[in-house]
Amino acid sequence: MKSFPMFLTMAGRRVVIVGGDETAAQKSRLMLKTEAAIELFAPALEPELAALVSQGRASHYAGPITPAIFKDAALVFIGTGCPAVDACIHALAKEAGVVVNVVDQPHLCDATTPSLVDRDPVVVAIGTEGTAPVLARKIKTEVETMLDPRLGSFAALAGRLRDAVAMRVPKEMRRDFWRRAFSGTAWQTHRGGDDETAAKMLAAEIEAGGITVPEKGRIALVGAGPGARDLLTLRAVARLQEADIIYYDRLVDPDVLELARRDAERVFVGKEVGAHSWPQEKINEVIVASALEGKNVVRLKSGDPSLFGRSTEEMSVAKGAGIEVEIVPGVTSASAAAASLGRALTERGQTDHVVLSTGTCRPGATDPVWGRMLNEGATLALYMAVNRADDIAETLLASGGTPDCTVEIVSNATHANEAIWRTSLGDLARCVAEDGVTSPAIILVRRPKS
């Protein structure tokens, strides 16, 4: 390393910023996250900086720049907009022996500002020694997805309890106490917005000397989206990283599982062509059994768990066993398919409503009434429908759909092997049969207004 990462204590210390334009404002925004005293040196200030001074958040000096103004400053930022002037001011600052950052002149910098993920008091700093700022920002984005927005406030609560833990919890039990605190029910409660109850739960465990009754685990029905892992929600990523065990479907992309913590157990419960599949009853049984053992369980489903994902059965059994269940929505295939096609699911004046339907019901069940769904102004999104394409086309044509209705089929949306077909309702059955359309695929049928 050419640069050593370090966190500086800033409370009550001076930070000098030389400059009065947007560059100085950017540095001020960064320092406002700390408890430092901000001092601005410039002949004039742009409106944002002037507002900081009027609010008492910073002080302003318009006089000459001398080495004396830098004395005892914790940090100095120089950014007047003129490289030559900045170099001269840098020389004055160095006479005072302070740490200096000159904007856009790395060779004059004693320190560089990292990209920050701020969950105060939890802070992650990312630096590339000035070689690749764009990469640092990319990494910051990925780390942002890993850390819950409420993590900082829970860490602050933990900090306030440290003395009480030291007094009441035996030393050999403290590590386990904090492990439970940051992964158990108290954290889940705090994350859900109930700070007061979470604090009482931790206080009760501390009062009991760190001894607690084993907790039931939780079950999260998590939507993995259509495939691409960067389409997962932040909450989905958080649940994967908290999971002790993950039960996942065949259509879940392996890249998605890489977002889980390394020591999480992974159990495949999907169906492979020609191989034995897990009955739904068995899946219900194992996810509940794992939760009863105190594990955080993720039932990872492709797409959105609430759409044709059999979530109702799993939720019912879990709730019957007294297990808390959460649904984490995912991007559903209809939305992903429309994105791949480069268009919206609705269009003003043409299609003003979307109907989602399955093409395959459970054995013995009556088919959906597809004909009633494709009325004027509708986009009909058909899931699990490739094998029923001929029946669906026949029904829609018999119910008022015209042969020239636009049909678009997207197979493996957002995956590397994504495939797209554009056809018509009259030609749907032939297209699927002769072009070798395979599942998983979504069929979109549009019937614009006349």
**Residues catalogued as catalytic:** 249, 271
- H helix intervals, 262-369: 280-292, 311-320, 333-341
How many C-beta neighbours within 10 Å does residue 185 have? 20
Could you tell me what percentage of the chain is helix, strand and coil, using 3-state DSSP and rounding each to the nearest 5?
40, 20, 40
370 near 395, Cβ under 8 Å?
Answer: yes
Rounded distance, CA 91 to CA 165, Å? 50
Task: Specify the DSSP element, H or E, that contains 421.
Answer: strand 419-424
Rounded distance, CA 240 to CA 274, Å? 29
Q: Which residues are CB-neighbours of 370 under 8 A, at least 6 positions away?
A: 357, 380, 382, 392, 395, 396, 399
| Radius of gyration over every alpha carbon of the chain, rounded to an integer in angstroms | 29
- Give the burial string for 145-173 (b: 16+ CB within 10 Å, else e): bebbebbbbbeebbeebeeebeebbeeee
Rounded distance, CA 370 to CA 393, Å? 9
